[in-house]
Amino acid sequence: MKLIDEFHNPQKAYRLAQQIEEVVDQPLAFMEVCGTHSHVIARHGLTQMLPPQLRLISGPGCPVCVTPQEVIDAAIQLAREGLWLAVFGDMMKVPGSDGSLDEVRATGGQVQVVYSPMQAIEWAQENPDEQIVFMGVGFETTAPSVAICISEANELGLTNFSVLVAHRLIPPAMQALIAQPDVQIDGFLCPGHVSAIIGVHPYQPLAEQGIPCVVAGFEPLDVLQSLYMLAQMCRENKPQVLIQYDRVVKPEGNPTALAKMNEVFEVTTTRWRGLGEIPASGLRTRDSYARFDAQKRFALELKPVPEPPGCQCGAVLRGAVQPTECPLFGTACRPDHPVGPCMVSSEGACAAVYRYQIPTTTPSPT
Interacting residues with ligand SF4 (CB under 6 A): 311-313, 316, 323, 326, 328-329, 333, 339-340, 342-343, 350
CB of 104 or CB of 351, closer to ligand SF4: 351
Q: Which helix (H) or strand (E) holds 104?
A: helix 101-106
**Could you tell me which residues come within 8 angstroms of residue 122 by beta carbon, excluding any fewer than 6 positions away?**
none
Answer yes or no: are the C-beta atoms of 354 and 340 closer than 8 Å: no
Please state the closest distance from residue 308 (CB atom) to ligand SF4, in A.
7
On the CB side of 363, CA atoms within 13 Å amount to 8
On the CB side of 245, CA atoms within 13 Å amount to 26
Please state the closest distance from residue 351 (CB atom) to ligand SF4, in A.
8
Please state the closest distance from residue 323 (CB atom) to ligand SF4, in A.
5
Please state the closest distance from residue 171 (CB atom) to ligand SF4, in A.
25
- C-beta pairs of 202-211 under 8 Å, 24+ apart in sequence: 202/171, 203/171, 203/174, 203/241, 204/241, 205/171, 205/175, 206/171, 206/174, 206/175, 206/178, 206/239, 206/241, 207/239, 207/240, 207/241, 208/239, 209/178, 210/239, 211/178, 211/185, 211/186, 211/187, 211/239
CB of 158 or CB of 311, closer to ligand SF4: 311
Amino acid sitting at position 178: I
CA distance 295 to 135: 11
CB of 40 or CB of 350, closer to ligand SF4: 350
CB of 245 or CB of 329, closer to ligand SF4: 329
Please state the closest distance from residue 340 (CB atom) to ligand SF4, in A.
3
Answer yes or no: are the C-beta atoms of 283 and 143 closer than 8 Å: yes
CB of 231 or CB of 352, closer to ligand SF4: 352
Answer yes or no: are the C-beta atoms of 169 and 139 closer than 8 Å: yes
Please state the closest distance from residue 13 (CB atom) to ligand SF4, in A.
28
CB of 57 or CB of 148, closer to ligand SF4: 57
Q: Which residue of this chain has its Cβ atom nearest to ligand SF4 in the complex?
A: 340
Please state the closest distance from residue 348 (CB atom) to ligand SF4, in A.
7
User: Which residues on adjacent β-strands are paired with residue 214?
Assistant: 189, 242
CB of 242 or CB of 313, closer to ligand SF4: 313
Please state the closest distance from residue 276 (CB atom) to ligand SF4, in A.
17
**Could you tell me which residues come within 8 angstroms of residue 251 by beta carbon, excluding any fewer than 6 positions away?**
199, 200, 201, 243
Answer yes or no: are the C-beta atoms of 259 and 279 closer than 8 Å: no
On the CB side of 202, CA atoms within 13 Å amount to 23
CB of 213 or CB of 343, closer to ligand SF4: 343
